[in-house]
Chain A
Amino acid sequence: MPKTIPADSVGLVDPQIVTFNEPLPLRSGRTINSYELVYETYGTLDAECANAILICHALSGNHHAAGFNREDEDKPGWWDSCIGPGKAIDTNRFFVVALNNLGGCHGSTGPTSINPETGEPYGPDFPIMAIRDWVKSQARLADYLGINKWHSVIGGSLGGMQALRWSIDYPDRLDRCIVIAAAPKLSAQNIAFNEVARQAITSDPEFHSGYYYKHNTLPRKGLALARMLGHITYLSDDSMREKFGRDLKTGKLNFNYDIDFEVESYLRYQGERFSDKFDANTYLLMTKALDYYDPAADHNHDLSQCLSQTKCRFLVVSFSTDWRFAPQRSKEIVDALMRAQKPVSYLEIDAPQGHDAFLFPIPEYVQILSSFLSQEIRHAQ
């Protein structure tokens, strides 16, 4: 039965694919000779091409940020809560671009794509991407779309790191940068969680050193474990207590090693669902991109020196119960921007959802996004 699409939805959207044949030199020293990017757009590009907003996605995100790809799709895009007519990122005013990053598994060239040199899927041979490589590929997408300068580049989590990288690498190509629930680099604890996730995947017997496509199998268990672990870090202690408490699945303790508690059932479900639709090699690649991110490293580890070359206005947002990228990590970015005398506003939003809060339409969050996007740019600085 076709569902009714809500009035504040961008409606039905068709993903687009663009092929780039200009080789892309990567931070790793390797090069991708040609690649495809899949993207969606919402709203209309104005005559001056001045109302374009780029949305950068997080670890498991993709190009489908808003609306529906099919009438019977059960859930809208991943950031539908904030993108749409009248929403925080108002598609009546803005032309919004969302893409799937290189190395992804939702249509852009990645480990599951055929390597033209071998005629087989890249698998683990797909080059490890750095965040600056993604940003470079996004700049080429901007060129292709005729967008010389973004009105804003916006991202949460890993997406926020891309937005920050944009301000550093292409200072003349964006007016505003919104960095949400991010960090200027990963902490040892962050890297440790990523490493356990990678170990979960690579130690799955079905992983076959990453060549599982050849063996016609998938490292489902490992990927599910990685996702379960990740999922815990996206939620807060409070939100898990609220959602599950110590509720029992069958109403009693079973005295075996199967599921007793609701939270176990939930995590298993999330893990299994994820492992059906996400590629393990992409997951590995994304976690490495996170680990390697450290824009200050090229500037004597001085973040404010690194950010001194930026020319846009910044909005930095964090969430009180986020412990994966805690407010203090956002504040590091803010402090560096202040030291570099850059225009920045910062808000820590009181929200119980943990890291995941950036996906929720929390009133203060929606309001600060839309207020900031409405700010006029004073070019005489």
Chain B
Amino acid sequence: MRSDLSLLTRWISEGERVLDLGCGDGALLAHLTKEKRIVGYGMEIDTQNILQCVGKGVDVIHQDLNEGLSYIDDKSFDTVIMTQSLQQTNAPDRILSEMVRIGKRAIVTFPNFGHWTTRIYLGLRGKMPMSEVMPYRWYNTPNIHFCTFKDFEILCKEQNVRILTRTVVDNDHLENWKIRLMPNILGEIALYHIEKK
């Protein structure tokens, strides 16, 4: 069980209707089904991941999230989740507004581009940062819309999205006092629990 997945499990209530955007191999949904008896679907673009989901008994819909979710009714889900994929979409702002439209609540997690190592890498080397968690070159990265926690919170404000809870952790999904002190510099991953105002 990935530790970020167990972190966000606490925001899901028993028996909720859940939609997991970019659900990967279905690990989170399988976990939530077992632990919280949720019902719902994953959405995924990669065929091998879809096959993994079906193998796990997770309901999954083949969908390119960039094509939009307008066909889904307002508030059809209790919680809409997107873990570590927002920065890979063509229009994160549109996805965010769709998530809080079709879900009563939403959970978003993404890596912090404002982490101190990234700032120093760009500042001193003058090149797009690369690291263990960001192993790509600028031209082949799937992460086309990186943002910092501050950037994301500005977007939430602009879109009338209320932040219910924010948890900032390091790459091992652990919290500590330093991160709590300077999250946008020392935090590596953020988990946001949000809803439409």
**Inside 8 A of B72's CB, which chain A residues have their CB?**
338-339
Of A197-205, A250-258, A290-298, A345-353, which stretch is located at the interface? Answer: A345-353
Question: CA separation between A30 and B73, bound complex, in Å?
Answer: 41
Contact of B50 among A347, A374, A375 (CB under 8 A): A347
A368 touches B61 (CB 8 A): no
Task: Evaluate contact between B51 and A338: CB separation under 8 angstroms.
Answer: no
Q: Determine the distance from Cα of A313 to Cα of B57 in the docked complex, in whole angstroms.
A: 10
CB of B61 within 8 A of CB of A334, answer: yes
Residue of A339, A350, A381 touching B47 (CB-CB under 8 A)? A350
Within 8 A of B (CB), among A295-354: 313, 315, 334-335, 338-339, 341, 343-350
Q: Of B51, B59, B76, which contacts A343 at CB under 8 A?
A: B59
Q: How many A-B contacts if CB must be within 8 Å?
A: 51
- Distance in angstroms from A326 CB to nearest chain B CB is 14
User: Of B17, B59, B73, which contacts A345 at CB under 8 A?
Assistant: B59
Say yes or no: is B60 at the interface (Cβ < 8 Å to chain A): yes
Set of chain A residues within 8 Å of B73, measured between Cβ atoms:
339
A110 to chain B, nearest CB (A): 37
Complex formed: what's the CA distance from A363 to B55 in Å? Answer: 15
Confirm or deny: A234 has a beta carbon within 8 angstroms of a beta carbon on chain B. no
Is B17's CB under 8 angstroms from A341's CB? yes
CB within 8 Å of A: which B13-39 residues: 17, 39
Residues in B neighbouring A349, C-beta threshold 8 A: 47
A313 to B39, CA, bound (A): 13
What count of chain A residues pass the 8 Å CB interface test? Answer: 24
The residues of B that contact A350 with a CB separation of less than 8 Å are 47
B57 to chain A minimum Cβ distance, whole angstroms, is 5
Q: Which residues from chain B contact A368 at a C-beta distance below 8 Å?
A: 50-51, 54
- Tell me if B186 is interfacial: C-beta within 8 Å of chain A: no
**Inside 8 A of B51's CB, which chain A residues have their CB?**
347, 364, 367-368, 371
Q: Which residues of B contact A315 (CB under 8 A)?
A: 54
Asked if A376 is an interface residue, CB under 8 A from chain B, the answer is yes
The CA of A335 and the CA of B102, in the complex, are separated in Å by 14
Q: Are B47 and A346 in contact (CB under 8 A)?
A: no
The CA-CA distance from A130 to B175 in the complex, in Å, is: 63
Does A35 touch B at the CB level, under 8 Å? no
Q: Among residues 36 to 84 in chain B, which have CB atoms less than 8 Å away from a CB atom of chain A? A: 39, 41, 47, 50-51, 53-55, 57, 59-63, 71-73, 76
The answer to whether the Cβ of A372 comes within 8 Å of any Cβ in the partner chain is yes
**Which of A338, A341, A348, A375 contacts B57 (CB under 8 A)?**
A375
Q: Is the CB of A338 within 8 A of B54?
A: no
Min CB distance, B99 to chain A, in Å? 16
By beta carbon, the residue of chain B nearest A327 is B62
Tell whether, in the assembled complex, residue B54 and residue A372 are in contact, meaning their CB atoms are under 8 Å apart: yes
Contacts of A346 in B (CB 8 A): 60-63
- With A338-B41, A348-B62, A368-B51 given, can you name 18 additional A-B contacts, CB distance below 8 Å? A334-B61, A335-B71, A338-B61, A338-B72, A339-B73, A339-B76, A341-B17, A344-B41, A345-B54, A346-B60, A346-B62, A347-B50, A347-B51, A368-B50, A371-B51, A372-B54, A375-B57, A381-B39
9 cross-chain CB contacts under 8 A: A338-B41, A339-B72, A339-B73, A347-B51, A364-B51, A367-B51, A368-B51, A368-B54, A375-B57
Closest A-B pairs by Cβ, 9 of them = A371-B54, A371-B55, A346-B61, A375-B57, A347-B62, A348-B62, A345-B60, A335-B71, A343-B59
